[in-house]
A and B are shown apart, each in its own frame.
Chain A
Amino acid sequence: MQNITKLICAKNKISYIVFDKEFKILDYNNTIENIADDIFSLKIGSDIREVMYELVGIEENLLALLNNTAKESIIHFPMILKMDEYYDLDIETFISSKGEKLFIAYIIQKPKESLSYISMLKEINKKTLLYETQDKQSKEQHFDLINQKLLSFNVDMDGVITLINNAFIFFFDLSSHEIVGKHFSEFFKARDLNLNANSTVIFNAINTKEEVISFHANIIPITKNGISHENIIICQDITYLKQIEKELEFAAGHDSLTGLANRSQLLKKMDETIVQCDKEKRHFTICFIDLDKFKPVNDNYGHHAGDMLLKHIAKVLSDFVRKDDMVARIGGDEFIILFNSLSDNKYIETMQKRLNALPPKHPLIYSQDDIIEFAFSIGLASYPQDAMTSPELLQLADREMYYSKRSTKTKG
């Protein structure tokens, strides 16, 4: 190697190492010590592959370079990281002063400017990875949220679960291996356990809070070569619909102001009680209650006070009756009490007295200054001695109440 080349290398901080076709080291400059992979092997005559790992595996390419059969006249490896520094490695051939064709490897340290470029690249990659990961996570969270109440699972043709989604695991708070392989009926109750493809079914399941949750399930077949081999079942939580259904059912049979049963609910209950009484050979009594002078309450205190009074009376009457009795509001200021199993005249009279004693004991304290007193007239009718049907009993009790009210007025 010419001295001038050595001088250029020294001036430009380029490390070099010369080796022959047997890969034996023939010469090198001092700076090579900083980048040798194994410094103990760095000596004249040792195998260069022990010193520079980059050369392991490229022997054929080197020999092609030596024999001028390679496409390129140089082997170039850029950006090799050694001891936190980056180097470019260039290997080429030259003819020695003895006329022998040898290899020379130049190892050129990357300038500081390129290091800032490297840092920038690292930062970009880090941010891109973070973005990709976060984006994936946020997408997963997004779909997990959507699917939290959308359970889905696959069953084979025998109804054995083969696959489940995260919502399924979340709902039952079980691990995948505790679910997969079991029959779906261990988790869901249904009227019909036959899963007919392309049909829908209502499932009930118990969640971790021991609540019964209703699902509307769609059964979708998976076919292979035209033959169904599995079904995907997608379950949507419809508990809220069941709740709405219950509320509508309640609203249809109840008075919205007082929460008491309304006329239709009362008639239904009376009809049921008639059937029951016939079966058990017993009696029951209804009591028609009509408020006295309710209109002046509305006129003097306003409709709000009137509503409050009706609610108050509903509460007073509800507290008065037994568990099996029913209080209903069938009109503006008209209430009915159905006394289950009450027919003996002695008990009826006692009840009537106690009922009449209620108003003076329970006036409505509307405000600090306004205490609203009330009174009512009552009329009774008993099954079966007074009438045989619910409408007839109501009509009779109403008439009795009317007589009672008129006699009170006459007396007054």
Chain B
Amino acid sequence: MLAYKIVMVGDFGVGKTSLVKRFVDNSFSEEYLSTIGVSISKKNLENSTIMLWDIEGHTEFKPIFKQYLLGAKGFIVVADITRKNTVESIQKHIELCHGVVKDAPICIALNKSDLTSKTSQEEIKNLHSISDSIVNILKTSAKENEAVNEIFGSLDKFIVDSLGR
């Protein structure tokens, strides 16, 4: 079976670990435990096996360690829809990903959609123009299990299809 690597990228506290936990274990915790370093999870899907790299989020004092992105077949860039600065960081994260893996497919998860958001539809629409490699942009909620399988599923489908060609 095809096994490949996906890396979760985004600012700290946007919910990367929560999305992985929801996708892999179908669980959620309100408690925030900041990820340090990287935690790798395996998820078996119908036609593939994904190694999900849940890496430490970008902070003001600590950039993302590029080496973690090595060999990824795709990226999920995550932002907290209630924190505008994390949405504004998406472009930088995509540039970082493509600096390591050129033209890798990317899905954008605008997480915490269960909370009130100040991000407008127009801002969300504008995200599509950042890169041609963006496969999908979805508002997700790890807490409410909204669009979590869809975001991983759409990236998986794209990768499986492109590797199968």
Contacts and interface: CB of A to CB of B under 8 A. Distances in A.
11 contacts: A56-B5, A58-B71, A76-B67, A78-B67, A80-B37, A80-B38, A118-B37, A125-B13, A126-B33, A126-B34, A132-B13
Contact of A129 (B12, B42, B68, B71): B12
Contacts of B92: none
Given A125-B13, A128-B12, A118 B36 contact: yes
Interface in A73-93: 75-81, 86
A75 B32 CA distance: 31
Nearest to A52: B40
Of B5, B51, B70, B71, most buried by chain A (CB within 10 Å of CB) is B71
A78 B66 CA distance: 11
A56 B35 CA distance: 21
A79 B36 contact: yes
Given A57-B70, A58-B70, 12 more contacts: A57-B5, A57-B71, A59-B71, A61-B71, A78-B65, A79-B37, A81-B37, A86-B37, A118-B36, A125-B59, A126-B32, A129-B34
Interface string B16-32: 00000000000000001
Interface in A116-138: 118, 121-122, 125-126, 128-130, 132-133, 136
Contact of B3 (A56, A76, A130): A56
B42 A53 contact: yes
Contacts of B71: 56-61
Given A56-B3, A58-B70, A60-B71, A37 B42 contact: yes
Interface size range of chain B in the complex: 20 to 34
A86 B40 CA distance: 12
A51 B32 CA distance: 30
A122 B34 contact: yes
B51 A61 contact: no
A311 interface: no
Contact of B72 (A57, A78, A126): A57
A245 interface: no
Interface string A26-48: 00000000000100000000000
A132 B38 contact: no
Interface in B41-70: 42, 51, 56-57, 59, 62, 65, 67-68, 70
Interface of B: 3-5, 12-13, 32-40, 42, 51, 56-57, 59, 62, 65, 67-68, 70-73, 82-83
B38 A121 contact: no
Q: State the main secondary structure of chain B at its contact with A.
A: loop
B32 A129 contact: yes
Interface string A108-122: 000000000010011
Contacts of A37: 40, 42
Contacts of A122: 33-34, 36
Interface string A162-199: 00000000000000000000000000000000000000
Contacts of A386: none
A57 B37 contact: no
A24 interface: no
B32 A81 contact: no
A344 interface: no
A77 B70 CA distance: 10
Nearest to B60: A128
B16 to A, nearest CB: 12
7 closest Cβ pairs, A-B complex: A79-B37, A57-B5, A57-B71, A125-B34, A58-B71, A129-B13, A81-B39
Given A76-B67, A132-B13, A54 B83 contact: no
Given A56-B3, A125-B13, A77 B82 contact: no
A49 interface: yes
A58 B69 CA distance: 10
B129 to A, nearest CB: 19
Nearest to B52: A53
A138 to B, nearest CB: 14
